[in-house]
A and B are shown apart, each in its own frame.
Chain A
Amino acid sequence: MYENQKLGLAYISPYIIGLIVFTAFPFISSLIISFTDYDLINTPSFVGLDNYAYMVSDDTFYKSLGVTFAYVFLTIPLKLSFALFIAFVLNFKLRGIKAFRTAYYIPSILGSSVAIAVLWRAIFSLDGLLNTFIGYVGIPPVAWLGEPHFAMLSVTLLRVWQFGSAMVIFLAALQSVPQSQYEAAMIDGASKWHMFTKITIPLITPVIFFNFIMQTTQAFQEFTAPYVITAGGPAKSTYLFSLYIYETAFKYFDMGYGSALAWVLFVIVGIFTGISFKSSKYWVFYSGDKGGKNGG
């Protein structure tokens, strides 16, 4: 640690400038814009809480909010439990563990691209690959992207398909669980399931928490997949909140309402993150932790 405070400040000064110009200033501005009516052409006019008042009676707002929650609560448990399961299966002296890890990671690096969203459309469209497949077994074609529930499922599956990044983090955590812990439990006659729930899971709770927070904040902001695959349809069944914000601001040029919507999303994500952090006290165990029910 070097004492020279001015020098230290100089080194982090790009960050401070960036924080002010590209984060803090826009952050405050968007709150101010949300109290105005602004269409990019006419000068913004102050309208007080009008945008928020409109939101209360806006059906699309409720629809979009509901869809977003459904999306988050569907993808996150599916994706994380699958990631943990595969990490658990991989955490074993197996040949080719590296090859599997590579294969599973590839969808994660491509998944958010338009190319993969396009592929998803080719798979789930009415004359697409999935219907060709179920046709072999004699099932008539299903309108995967034309039925609200199936459309949501198709978009969700794309995210679950990208479980690799979370899995790699889980795997690293599993590999760092000291073997001695298992040996001690084995001498005490613990079953495999007991060891998993009483040793493995508590020891990797910090990583579960990390994955949970990162994946959830991302899922709340999902944009590319629903925009390209379903364009929010059918009947707004995949009209996630970020689509609504985008279209309000950049299709209908209603910057005021768009900002108000963005702030609502911010508050929701904020509350959600806050609750998660508060609850983490009760179920996340950091090593060297003296507190907590099970003592870590």
Chain B
Amino acid sequence: MAGENMSTVSAYSAMQINKEVKRTLRKERINSYFRYFVLILTGIFMLYPLAWMISASFKPNHEIFTSMSLIPKDFSWDGFINGWKTGTEYTFGRFFLNTFMYVIPKVILTVISSTIVAFGFARFEIPFKKFWFTTLIATILLPQSVLLIPQYLMFREMGMLDSYMPLYLPMAFATQGFFVFMLIQFLRGLPTDMEEAAMIDGCNSFQLLWYIIVPILKPAIISVALFQFMWSVNDFLGPLIYISSVEKYPIALALKLSIDVTEAANWNEILAMASIAIVPSIVVFLIAQNYFIEGVTAGGVKG
């Protein structure tokens, strides 16, 4: 009897529940349509300018601002061919290579020095450790413009102006606190039992760093390298201050030079070179993206 009663109740509530479920599902569907609408619209705003820039490089000059289309009506390589020659005696390829002349040392030095210092901070007792750590945080927040003039005078004194040294030499001393901080945080989250086992086996601290820490830290180290690469390729103020001869110009200065010289005349050339300029960052980002995200999400577990 109780069962009979239950079944009528459940039949009634099943209908109710069914209705409720349908309504929720409909709401969810509208909700997700709305989300997709917002996301796609935002995506267009994010990527259309970049796509337009690349397509404009293949358009003749007179066509660039007459339509918003991403497909060139008169397809031409002129922008690239003439832009590559640049207004100087060097080709754009030269400026490209120049950029990597300091970006690569910068990335390598940053990775090495930051890893060593982060290892020290995360695993050792150090006199005045709190003080050193506070300075690390302070340097992250310190506006770099307050250091700009004395650093310039210092490198001038050392005879390093118009060379790439001022751009990468400081990186040998873990001067970008942000990266050190990132690696310390990562190391602190890792269990130390493997290291302890290695110590019992007679590893010294350097072997520990090289054979245990570095492999585990790999995802974090890759993201440090990635960020430093992006920031260095994009850096403009540094080269602007230190590099004065055109033969040593990196991409950033060469592009600035090209808009100053041609002033709104040959947009297809300028945009073609700007498109080439963003290729390294985009390629590196797309290749390393999975590594990066994997590193952030699974880094600790995989070790």
Using CB atoms and an 8 Å cutoff, list the residues of chain A in contact with chain B.
1-5, 7-12, 14-19, 21-23, 25-27, 29-30, 33, 40, 86, 89-90, 92, 94, 100, 102-107, 109-110, 112-116, 118-119, 121-123, 125, 127-129, 131-133, 136, 161, 164, 172, 213, 217, 220-221, 223-224, 227-228, 242, 245-246, 249-250, 255, 258-259, 262-263, 265-266, 269, 273
> Given the complex, which residues of A lie within 8 Å of B234, measured CB to CB?
110, 112-114, 224
Interface of B is mostly: helix
B147 contacts A265, C-beta separation under 8 Å = no
Q: How many residues of B contact A (CB 8 A)?
A: 86
B126 contacts A15, C-beta separation under 8 Å = no
> Given the complex, which residues of A lie within 8 Å of B42, measured CB to CB?
86, 104
A269 contacts B233, C-beta separation under 8 Å = no
Which residue from chain B places its CB closest to the CB of A132 in the assembled complex? B65
Q: Which 9 A-B pairs have the closest CB atoms?
A: A18-B173, A8-B124, A11-B120, A26-B150, A29-B150, A12-B120, A115-B274, A113-B234, A115-B277
> Given the complex, which residues of B lie within 8 Å of A112, measured CB to CB?
231, 234, 236
Partner of B127, one of A5, A113, A118: A5
Which residue from chain A places its CB closest to the CB of B39 in the assembled complex? A100
| Min distance, Cβ B71 to any Cβ of chain A, angstroms | 15
| Min distance, Cβ A221 to any Cβ of chain B, angstroms | 5
| Min distance, Cβ A67 to any Cβ of chain B, angstroms | 16
With contact pairs A94-B36, A125-B264 given, residues A104 and B68 touching in the complex (Cβ less than 8 Å): no
Using CB atoms and an 8 Å cutoff, list the residues of chain B in contact with chain A.
32, 35-36, 38-39, 42-43, 45-47, 49-50, 52-53, 56, 64-68, 113, 116-117, 119-121, 123-127, 129, 132, 135-136, 139, 141-154, 156, 170, 172-175, 180, 205, 230-231, 233-234, 236-237, 240-241, 251-253, 255-256, 259, 264, 267, 270-271, 274-275, 277-278, 281-282, 285-286, 289, 296
A228 contacts B256, C-beta separation under 8 Å = yes
| Assembled-state Cα–Cα distance A52/B172 (Å) | 36
| Assembled-state Cα–Cα distance A223/B234 (Å) | 12
| Assembled-state Cα–Cα distance A19/B259 (Å) | 38
A16 contacts B132, C-beta separation under 8 Å = yes
> Could you say which of A29, A115, A246 has the most chain B C-beta atoms within 10 Å of its C-beta?
A115
Q: Count the A-B residue pairs with Cβ separation under 8 angstroms: how many?
A: 257
> Given the complex, which residues of B lie within 8 Å of A29, measured CB to CB?
150, 153
A103 contacts B281, C-beta separation under 8 Å = no
Partner of B278, one of A113, A121, A164: A113
| Assembled-state Cα–Cα distance A92/B31 (Å) | 10
Identify 18 residue pairs between A and B in the complex whose beta-carbon atoms are under 8 Å apart, listed by A's number.
Answer: A19-B175, A22-B173, A27-B142, A29-B150, A106-B46, A106-B285, A109-B282, A112-B234, A114-B252, A118-B271, A119-B53, A122-B53, A122-B267, A161-B45, A221-B145, A223-B237, A255-B149, A262-B146
Partner of B39, one of A89, A110, A127, A263: A89
| Min distance, Cβ B42 to any Cβ of chain A, angstroms | 6
Partner of B149, one of A113, A217, A259: A259
| Min distance, Cβ B93 to any Cβ of chain A, angstroms | 16
Interface of A is mostly: helix
> Given the complex, which residues of A lie within 8 Å of B148, measured CB to CB?
245-246, 249, 262
| Min distance, Cβ A176 to any Cβ of chain B, angstroms | 11
> Given the complex, which residues of B lie within 8 Å of A33, measured CB to CB?
149-150, 153
| Assembled-state Cα–Cα distance A127/B120 (Å) | 56
Which residue from chain A places its CB closest to the CB of B237 in the assembled complex? A223
Apart from A2-B123, A27-B146, 17 more pairs, CB < 8 Å: A4-B124, A4-B125, A11-B120, A12-B120, A17-B173, A26-B147, A89-B39, A92-B32, A103-B43, A104-B42, A109-B282, A109-B285, A110-B282, A112-B236, A114-B256, A115-B277, A161-B45
> Given the complex, which residues of A lie within 8 Å of B139, measured CB to CB?
19, 23
A223 contacts B143, C-beta separation under 8 Å = no
B125 contacts A18, C-beta separation under 8 Å = no
| Assembled-state Cα–Cα distance A164/B50 (Å) | 15
| Assembled-state Cα–Cα distance A12/B127 (Å) | 11
B149 contacts A3, C-beta separation under 8 Å = no
| Assembled-state Cα–Cα distance A112/B230 (Å) | 10
| Assembled-state Cα–Cα distance A27/B148 (Å) | 9
| Min distance, Cβ B297 to any Cβ of chain A, angstroms | 9
With contact pairs A17-B173, A21-B173 given, residues A113 and B141 touching in the complex (Cβ less than 8 Å): no
Which residue from chain B places its CB closest to the CB of A82 in the assembled complex? B42
With contact pairs A8-B125, A106-B47, A118-B270 given, residues A22 and B175 touching in the complex (Cβ less than 8 Å): yes
B259 contacts A121, C-beta separation under 8 Å = yes
With contact pairs A129-B65, A221-B143 given, residues A5 and B46 touching in the complex (Cβ less than 8 Å): no
